[in-house]
């Protein structure tokens, strides 16, 4: 009997973390699904749901659920700080021996939680879900695949294809990620950069259960550009290369026109078309690389300003924290 008490007292604790935004149709179903799974496993657990200032009934539903079960811990931000910052802040609040991060729309299947924990018990500090197929729009899935290949090809460290941050993170890894103090923490890129040995759980990504995604094409484009800038210095090197190539082409064209003019001195008329084409071509190249340089400068500015990851408006069931706190 004593052994049973000791084992129960020192059993491990698992944190489940759900970032959410306008998920009034999904949050209660997610809480029920997590509860059903975790109560079958020999672990304590807490369920952290971080609301990125939803403008629907999500927060009201979360407050009701938190009032019914103290294991449900909820946070509301004062505004929408973006998916990356919201997810990272939720992960950093976890005090379990490990934390499992998954989206609230059921595209990250909670049924994989036991498989994540099994890999963790085998000694892996990080276990990531890896999509092998998807029920989403085929065009979007293929565009994502192309994006992953581009990042993988140009990144200075090996990147993980078809992963989104959905997965399990040991508390030692969470502490390391928090210490990095990243302004826009992209978990999959940071894990790759830190070099942890990662186990993968392959799955077919289902469609969103209910509601509409809060991510627009504009968000995906900005995230793709930001990821490229953060993982590679290739764009800057390309600027040097293209500058050299354009200079060579311009020099070669100048020599050609000089020779042609000398051979046909009385009859050759260069005209304005080649001149205008050259100006627009070089101008386009310059504008493109000024934009790339601007992205790097913007990234530097974001880092040196040291703004908070998020600012919280309210939190419930965090016994040792105030209900309104700056993070």
Residue found under tokens 């990821």: 227
Q: Tell me the CATH number for domain 2-212+308-316.
A: 3.90.550.10
The residues near 324 (Cβ < 8 Å, ≥ 6 apart) are 312, 313, 314, 315
Of the chain, the percentage scoring pLDDT greater than 90 comes to: 41
From the list 94, 30, 86, 88, the residue with the least C-alpha distance to 313 is 86
Cβ contact 167:129 at 8 Å: yes
So where are the chain's domains?
Answer: 2-212+308-316, 234-305
Whole-model pTM over 0.75: no
**What is the rounded average pLDDT of the residues 140-155?**
68
CA 76/CA 324 separation, integer angstroms: 9
Lowest mean pLDDT among 15-29, 155-169, 176-190: 155-169
pLDDT at 140 over 70: no
Of the chain, the percentage scoring pLDDT greater than 70 comes to: 69
**What is the rounded average pLDDT of the residues 134-157?**
68
Q: Which pLDDT score is estimated for 116?
A: 97
Q: Which pLDDT score is estimated for 185?
A: 86
DSSP tag of 325: -
pLDDT at 49 over 70: yes
Q: Which pLDDT score is estimated for 194?
A: 87
Lowest mean pLDDT among 39-53, 81-95, 245-259: 245-259
- 5 or 146: whose pLDDT is higher? 146
Question: Which residue pairs from 285-293 have beta carbons closer than 8 angstroms and sit at least 24 positions apart in sequence?
Answer: 285/242, 285/243, 285/246, 289/235, 289/238, 289/239, 289/242, 289/243, 292/229, 292/235, 292/236, 292/239, 293/236, 293/239
The CA distances from residue 28 to 31, 46, 50, 104, 162, in Å, are 5, 15, 14, 10, 28
């Amino acid at each position: 009997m004593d052994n049973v008490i000791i084992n129960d007292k020192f059993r491990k604790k698992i944190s489940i973390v759900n970032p959410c935004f306008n998920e009034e149709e999904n949050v209660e179903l997610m809480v029920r699904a997590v509860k059903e799974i975790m109560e079958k496993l020999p672990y304590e657990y807490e369920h952290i749901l971080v609301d990125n200032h939803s403008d629907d009934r999500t927060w009201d539903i979360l407050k009701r659920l938190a009032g019914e079960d103290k294991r449900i811990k909820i946070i509301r931000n004062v505004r929408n700080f973006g998916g990356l910052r919201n997810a990272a802040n939720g992960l950093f609040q976890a005090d379990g021996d490990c934390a499992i991060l998954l989206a609230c729309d059921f595209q990250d299947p909670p049924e994989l939680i036991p498989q994540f924990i099994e890999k963790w018990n085998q000694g892996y500090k990080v276990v990531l879900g890896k999509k092998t197929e998807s029920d989403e729009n085929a065009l979007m899935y293929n565009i994502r695949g192309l994006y992953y290949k581009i990042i993988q090809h140009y990144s200075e460290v090996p990147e993980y294809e078809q992963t989104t941050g959905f997965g399990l993170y040991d508390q030692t890894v969470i502490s390391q990620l928090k210490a990095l103090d990243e302004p826009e923490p992209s978990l999959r890129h940071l894990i790759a950069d830190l070099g942890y040995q990662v186990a993968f759980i392959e799955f077919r990504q289902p469609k969103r259960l209910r509601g509409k995604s809060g991510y627009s094409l504009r968000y995906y484009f900005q995230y793709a550009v930001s990821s490229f800038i953060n993982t590679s210095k290739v764009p800057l090197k390309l600027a040097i290369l293209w500058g050299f190539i354009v200079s060579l082409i311009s020099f070669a064209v100048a020599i050609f026109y000089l020779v042609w003019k000398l051979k046909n001195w009385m009859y050759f008329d260069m005209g304005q078309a080649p001149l205008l084409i050259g100006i627009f071509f070089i101008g386009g190249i310059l504008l493109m690389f000024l934009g790339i340089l601007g992205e790097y400068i913007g990234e530097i500015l974001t880092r040196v300003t040291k703004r908070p990851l998020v600012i919280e408006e309210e939190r419930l069931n965090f016994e040792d924290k105030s209900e309104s706190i700056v993070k």
